[in-house]
Amino acid sequence: MDSVYEDVKSILENRRIRSEILLKLKKDQIRKEHPEIESIEQEIDKMTEDTLLAALEGKSCEDLASRIAPLEKKRDDLLKDLGVDPQILLPEPFCKHCNDTGYIRKPGKDGTVETDLCVCVRELLAPVMLSRSGVENYPNYSFDKAADSFYEGNATMQELFEKLRKLAEKEKLPNAVFYGKSGKGKTFTAVSCARAYAKQGRSALVIRQAEAQELMMEHRKAIQSFYMAPSKEKEIEERVGYLTQSDLLVLDDLGVEARTPNTEADLLYLLDTRMLAGKTTIITTNFDLESLKERYGGRFFDRIDRSFKMLRFTCEG
């Protein structure tokens, strides 16, 4: 498992432990102040313990469990009589949205239930995802910077930018090729998308195609070599893992890389692996579609033609 996910897991665990300890302290306090509820509390404790034991031994515990609720009701009534709000005996999680489980359930399409990462986890992940994504190399490339000024007087581009922003900030972006002459905001928009993903704790990576190619070549060498220092091998594995598995990959500036005999095969492998995993890839290129087809030929071009949205970045309004 990715080390950052391990960290999040243990933070959530600590938060749950913390709220259990707080609850225990609160309960002890109330029991001390109101000895009247002590005997019921003891009964509840006993019943809870028996239920757990039965469950651990694989016995039916429904019967035992069903006896807890009436006891709790009795205790709560007694507390109310004593002028104490029974709500005080509920655990107080660090995050009220997810009770420190880290995920929330929300209604999905067609009456199904979907789970989603809670905002508290996204907040924990965001700084890590931002620093891993490479967007910090492009400090001003962000949806926060007004698109109006970037695409001033260009209604088509403003509309496209807005559409992408909404998808990046709330949903999932489709695979896309941003093409058109240089200086039309392709990288700006693609990096803005990656930043929006990372800010929500989703994994994103911005990498120039030339570097991605280099990395895949190193990976191949590592697989083929008889020996490579384990630390080096691990580092390459991690980087390739991020390249193939991040929620959003921006493959920047396709076409300027030096051609090698493996360029097309590597690109195909990368796109196929990502598509299979349901991950989004955005490719930016200064080439027009004809030149792309000419340069990369059949299979690669077919793949993007079929599975990618071709978005032309223009300066015409």
- 180 vs 218: CA distance, rounded Å: 30
Q: Taking a C-beta distance cutoff of 8 angstroms, is the pair 200, 127 a contact?
A: no
Minimal distance in Å, beta carbon 101 to Zn ion?
Answer: 7
Pick the closer one to Zn ion by CB: 98 or 243: 98
- By beta-carbon proximity to Zn ion, the closer residue of 74 and 97 is 97
Tell me the closest approach of the beta carbon of residue 6 to Zn ion, in angstroms: 18
Which residues contact residue 176 at a Cβ distance below 8 angstroms, ignoring those fewer than 6 apart? 282, 283, 308, 309, 310, 311
Q: Which span sits near Zn ion by CB under 5 A: 110-118, 153-161, 256-264, 279-287?
A: 110-118
Beta carbon nearer to Zn ion, 134 or 201: 201
Q: What is the rounded distance in angstroms from the CA atom of residue 215 to the CA atom of residue 101?
A: 37
Residues numbered 215 to 254 that lie near Zn ion (CB under 5 A) are: none
Q: Which residue in this structure is represented by tokens 């995920």?
A: 103
Q: Does 124 bind Zn ion (CB under 5 A)?
A: no
Under DSSP, the state recorded for 2 is -
Residue 51 CB neighbours (<10 A)? 19
How long is the chain? 317
Distance separating alpha carbons of residues 166 and 222, to the nearest angstrom: 40
189/133 Cα distance (integer angstroms) = 15
Judged by CB under 5 A, which of 97, 122, 293, 303 binds Zn ion?
97
Q: Which is nearer to Zn ion, 120 or 254 (CB)?
A: 120
Q: Which listed residue (64, 120, 129, 206) binds Zn ion by CB under 5 A? A: 120
Choose the binding region for Zn ion from 21-29, 87-95, 176-184, 221-229 (rule: CB under 5 A). 87-95
Nearer to Zn ion, 120 or 125 (CB): 120
12 sits near Zn ion (criterion: CB under 5 A): no
Segment lying near Zn ion (by CB under 5 A), choices 25-33, 113-121, 232-240, 302-310: 113-121
Q: Tell me the closest approach of the beta carbon of residue 58 to Zn ion, in angstroms.
A: 32
Judged by beta carbon, residue 30 or residue 121, the one nearer Zn ion is 121
Specify whether the CB–CB gap between 182 and 286 falls below 8 A. yes
| Sole binder of Zn ion in the list 30, 79, 95, 168 (CB under 5 A) | 95
Please tell me the count of residues contacting Zn ion according to CB under 5 A. Answer: 5
In the complex, the smallest distance separating the C-beta of residue 94 from Zn ion, rounded to whole angstroms, is: 8
What's the CA gap between 103 and 120, in Å, rounded? 9
**Closest to 241 in 3D by CA, of 33, 16, 3:** 3
From 38-46, 91-99, 164-172, 272-280, span contacting Zn ion (CB under 5 A): 91-99
How many of the other CB atoms lie within 10 Å of CB of 200?
Answer: 19
Residue 98 touching Zn ion (CB under 5 A)? yes
Q: Is 210 exposed, middle or buried (0-12, 13-18, 19+ CB in 10 A)?
A: middle
Cβ proximity to Zn ion: between 34 and 97 the closer is 97
Q: Identify which of residues 23 and 210 has a Cβ nearer to Zn ion in the complex.
A: 23
- How many Å is the maximal CA-CA distance in the chain? 85
Q: Of these, 118, 125, 191, 193, which contacts Zn ion (CB under 5 A)?
A: 118
Sorted by sequence, the CB contacts under 8 Å of residue 77 that are 6+ apart come out as: none
Can you give the binding site for Zn ion, defined by CB under 5 A?
95, 97-98, 118, 120
